[in-house]
Structure 1
């Protein structure tokens, strides 16, 4: 094995270990966001805010499987596995770029809709809204003033009983949820773009190694 082949082989192997971890990272972020928003999924009929976490989980899981496939192909020096890996990587790159673009393009629209969704839930199901307050540690859509009452539900402050003049009242759910979706949406988008940039290098290395393995196999027959 030449020095160049050795380097390509193990750089590709190490890169795929990184991809596997990145895939698990995307999967973990998606699960964390989905668990966090589970309190509002049954209350808000519009599911636009679930696109990013669900897509992140799906893409993250696929990336992990394909990266594992790439590790095996690099170690075994299998031309078939390496070519298949490169093709899957190219498809995943397109999917992740699409996910990142959708997040960056649609995120502001989704975030701007959050106050409308929360006001609808607050007016329709005040009891159900308490679960959102408990999960995100917030109070009413716009803060304690949303209740138009001196007495507030226990979910509105850190130390019940709560009232309108309590010093530990939580702020409004509108701002807190908007910040939450902005932060995690950007994290998912940035991670997806970084992974795509590294994957492009891995695809080149994978095709180079596959070509070398194929040439070596041909030379061995003569």
Structure 2
């Protein structure tokens, strides 16, 4: 015996909500992968702790992806057991997300130290790095219009004259434009990459937080709809 009236509307809303969850789970997996690639390829951040956030995002995305599919099937089939399991699992996911948010807040100030260490390592390994590594570093400096970690002086060991920087530090990038121009603000960017990278990471984190809040709201609504549907299904069993 299927549910009817207002409960049928709740059923379809739950199916729709789960479809949105499914998309959100897929989006989280994609975002987590992009963040991981950005941290370890574009920004050359090798600190293991930096992988924590994107890995958690990917893991939550995968779990939501499968739970949403499970909940959608349960709602469509009007299975009390499946809908109940879905509500319980979704509640556990919210608890994990809250724990992850608290952890991210506690360690929020570590971003600066991780960026500092990673950029310092980037400059140290520039000479012995592969062509791909050097291109990545150059693209970073060109795109963010910065030079070195805290200033262009961080490249003092780049050449024997201790006054040259990579051409990617130049305001107008041309061949050998960085030779003997380290402290020339007209030709070379004097601002280091640390603040620019940190600001970019924090900006992306803000978008992740906004997305997390939206998903959390949808998840809470999903639990509410699940409880209403569970009650309706159980009432139907009792009538039968």
TM-score (norm 2): 0.79
Residue 197 of structure 2, aligned match among 165, 168, 177: 177
Residue 147 of structure 1, aligned match among 142, 147, 155: 155
**Does the CA contact (< 8 Å) of 2:25 and 2:63 recur in 1?**
yes
CA distance 1:147–1:206, change in 2 (3 Å): same
Once the two structures are superposed, the pairs formed by residues 39-188 of structure 1 within 5 Å of their partners are 39=41, 44=46, 46-123=47-124, 125-127=125-127, 128=129, 130=134, 133-137=137-141, 138-148=146-156, 149-157=162-170, 159-161=173-175, 162-163=177-178, 164=181, 165=184, 167=187, 169=189, 171-188=191-208
Deviation at 1:83, TM superposition (A): 0.6
Residue ranges of structure 2 left out of the alignment (5+ in a row): 157-161
Deviation at 1:132, TM superposition (A): 5.2
Look up the match of 1:31: 33
Q: Structure 1: how far apart are the matches of 2:109 and 2:135?
A: 25
Q: Structure 2: how far apart are the matches of 1:131 and 1:179?
A: 22
Q: Structure 1: how far apart are the matches of 2:189 and 2:43?
A: 25
Residue ranges of structure 1 left out of the alignment (5+ in a row): none
Q: Which one is further off, 132-141 or 56-65?
A: 132-141
Q: Structure 2: how far apart are the matches of 1:207 and 1:38?
A: 43
**Does the CA contact (< 8 Å) of 2:45 and 2:114 recur in 1?**
no
Greater share of helix residues, 1 or 2? 1
CA distance 1:184–1:43, change in 2 (3 Å): closer
Q: Secondary structure at the match of 1:37?
A: helix
Q: Secondary structure at the match of 1:2?
A: coil
**Does the CA contact (< 8 Å) of 2:147 and 2:169 recur in 1?**
yes
Aligned residues: 218
Q: Secondary structure at the match of 1:201?
A: helix
Q: Structure 2: how far apart are the matches of 1:41 and 1:145?
A: 20
